[in-house]
Structure 1
Amino acid sequence: MKKKIRHRTHRRKRKAHSGQLIQIDATPFEWFGTSIKYALHGAIDDATGDVVGLYMTQNECLFGYFEMMRQCCLDFGIPQSIYSDRHTIFRSPKTGQLTVEELISGKTVNLTQFGRSMHELGVDMIFANTPQAKGRIERLWVTLQSRLPVEFAKRGINTLTAANEFLANYRFQYNEKFSVEPESDSLFVPLQEGIDIDEVLCIKHTRKTDNAGTFSFKGRCFQVLDKGFPIISARREIQVLINPRFGIRVEYKGKTYETIRYLKPQNKSANLNVTKKTINSVTPHLIHSSDEWKKIWWSEDYNLSLKFLYELFFEKQQSAS
């Protein structure tokens, strides 16, 4: 009988510079000792082992990765490159699937919203073929899955809000104990003064204003608020910025404008057809419960506003095969 050949895997040498490569991922786990799993999004520096971002949500989602990268950029700086799996949040499933004829004709695959935000920050994205390729963050999950449930139980933490408040400081405690010194200088780039990171880590879509200067998005009509900037004329192409931290803003010629809902006149017989099932379908999130968020959506049922946001940021997405 032939002896089975086992292929050995070797740990890749750490990068020389902190900020040269950040590994990112999310893991579902029963963090609170119940049967309910929540997704912890994390980012770890390849050179030092520093945990540069941790954020927990109900599912692996775009918002979780945005918040994780927000922590990284504000606390450490902008990394040179990111190493992730091939989840559709990071990489379009059409990537590498174009035919020769499509490539010759100049057709390209659009970036995902996360990929577009990384491109704006100047961050290169590298995609792993196997979980073993990003072993550093896979080993981090093993460590945190044994430690965090104990930490949460000791403090009576059993909600996402409380967990994220705890994780904000826990990252630094973890790094003091487990991180190592890099071989060379840091490649993290500090955020430039004047850049609003929330206007980069957001969803962006192009729209065009109508004759009244309003625009439509997801079946809703919005009006741009004039804050002393030149007013946006009719039939102008604008960038719509969506982020749970500020709601909806508009970018035009390098200027950012706030928006409010614009309600078109309706017949008296018109109704919203709001069902109890629709109202209760979304669990409120910490940031969305703020008074600022309610003011932004003052003209619409609050729960429906959450449903609208949920579909954009929090809906569970399928991984690419």
Structure 2
Amino acid sequence: MTEGGVYMSARDLFELSVIEDFRSGRRTRVEAATVLGCCVKSVTRKSKRLREGGPGALRHGNRGRTPSNKTVTPVMEAALRLALSLYPDFNLTHCHEMLVANHGLNVKYSTFHAWCRKSGIKQGKRRRPSKRRLYRERMANEGLMLQMDGSHHEWNGSDKWCLIGLIDDATSDMPAARFYDGETTWGCMKTLRLVIERKGIPEVIYTDEAGWAGGSEKRRHFSQFVRACEELGITVITTPSAESKGRIERAWRTIQGRLVPELRHHGIKSMTDANRYLDQVFLPEYWAAKRTVLPRDQVSRYRRLPVGKNLDQILCLKYWRVVRRDHTVSYDGKEYRILGPDLGSLAGKDVTVHIDEEGETKWFYGHVPLETKLIVKPIRKWTRDAG
């Protein structure tokens, strides 16, 4: 870091650009709060800190510090072990009371509740009363925020497909939608690629807590889709509430009511024909013509793909491996020998394997492609089963 400079992450830079837009009048306070995922008062506080202390003031003052009241890991592990072994059928409140009274647990209920949620245990059903929903204004610019979701339905009357699509919050335009067998990471990446090729790169994608967006436990800390969006400069915001992304939820209701009978009327049964009808007839002739509105601001917030960016190297699966001393790497039970180019010793260095939808692998050291060869091991004459 240069002397006198301020280190800012990609998230910090995005927050800075949103607050600057708000201060210059290009965004309203409510729009800035929605994009940043915070309340309106937080936007006011951030704007004040930026005005008084500059860009560095947007960073949280406690960044990098260990909380003074952090509970040590052994205490958490012991509490969860007791909860699972002795109180498996207790609700969280009752379980916490028993641990405090009988085992001397000295933590707050909120801390214990957070431990259980993080570990995936004692996830009871939510029984919350319905809340009054408030009207939210559309975003001002096209491409500023797209809502993304998948709709599972028997679209052809017999087979259950998933329609993955994105809808522009400012105009209700659907730049891309496509049928797939399921709501998968590959399906979401291919649909996003259509948006980028047709319109450009949006600023924000607003979606639910699906697995491909990092909502499931196994993908909470790493989602291939979110990783690809970060490389493209797209902010992904997830929400547990279907009502908060009501624009696309209402769109699915409308599309199911109209598209299903149209497909039946035209005798369309295959997914290929359904996708063709969706792209060439339904979206341009009905949705774009009758369901879209004009944005409040005519300036599009879609961005062009930067020079040097290759969608094939972004919209794929990426995994990191460490090169062994003999210049070999392994992935999915297979070993590969690095043949070139000559970059000196790569032992102990991190390399990346890119996997496309067909399963083809390509290895990279940074942005440098590596030439590799699959190592075919000899077959043993004797096996345990044969012996």
Q: TM-score, normalised by structure 1?
A: 0.69
Shift of the 29–9 alpha-carbon distance from structure 1 to 2, 3 Å rule, reads same
CA distance in 1, matches of 2:344, 2:256: 51
Write the mapping of 1:186-201 to structure 2, written as runs, cut at 5 A: 186-201=300-315
Is 1:27 matched with 2:151?
A: yes
Shift of the 232–46 alpha-carbon distance from structure 1 to 2, 3 Å rule, reads farther
CA distance in 1, matches of 2:179, 2:372: 29
Contact 1:212 1:234 in 2 (8 A): no
Is 1:13 matched with 2:126?
A: no
Shift of the 221–171 alpha-carbon distance from structure 1 to 2, 3 Å rule, reads farther
CA distance in 1, matches of 2:266, 2:374: 42
Write the mapping of 1:154-173 to structure 2, written as runs, cut at 5 A: 154-169=265-280, 170-173=282-285
2:9 maps to what in 1? none
Contact 1:23 1:83 in 2 (8 A): yes
Shift of the 244–232 alpha-carbon distance from structure 1 to 2, 3 Å rule, reads farther
1:73 maps to what in 2? 196
Is 1:54 matched with 2:54?
A: no
2:363 maps to what in 1? 250
1:40 maps to what in 2? 163
| CA offsets 1:31-71 (integer angstroms, 9 cap, x no match) | 1111x311111110100111022122222211111111111
The alignment-based identity, stated in percent, is 31
2:255 maps to what in 1? 144
Contact 1:92 1:111 in 2 (8 A): no
CA distance in 2, matches of 1:149, 1:94: 34
1:241 maps to what in 2? 354
CA distance in 1, matches of 2:371, 2:207: 34
Of Structure 1 and Structure 2, the greater helix share is in: 2
Shift of the 153–14 alpha-carbon distance from structure 1 to 2, 3 Å rule, reads same
CA distance in 2, matches of 1:245, 1:195: 21
Q: How many residues align?
A: 251
CA distance in 2, matches of 1:187, 1:246: 34
2:237 to 114, 126, 135: 126
Shift of the 26–231 alpha-carbon distance from structure 1 to 2, 3 Å rule, reads same
| CA offsets 1:243-289 (integer angstroms, 9 cap, x no match) | 2167221121312346564322223578xxxxxxxxxxxxxxxxxxx
CA distance in 1, matches of 2:188, 2:313: 15
Shift of the 6–125 alpha-carbon distance from structure 1 to 2, 3 Å rule, reads closer
Structure 2: tracts of 5 or more residues without a match: 1-128
CA distance in 2, matches of 1:50, 1:167: 14
Aligned AA for 2:320?
T
CA distance in 2, matches of 1:181, 1:37: 34
Aligned AA for 1:254?
H
Aligned AA for 2:322?
K
Shift of the 13–230 alpha-carbon distance from structure 1 to 2, 3 Å rule, reads same
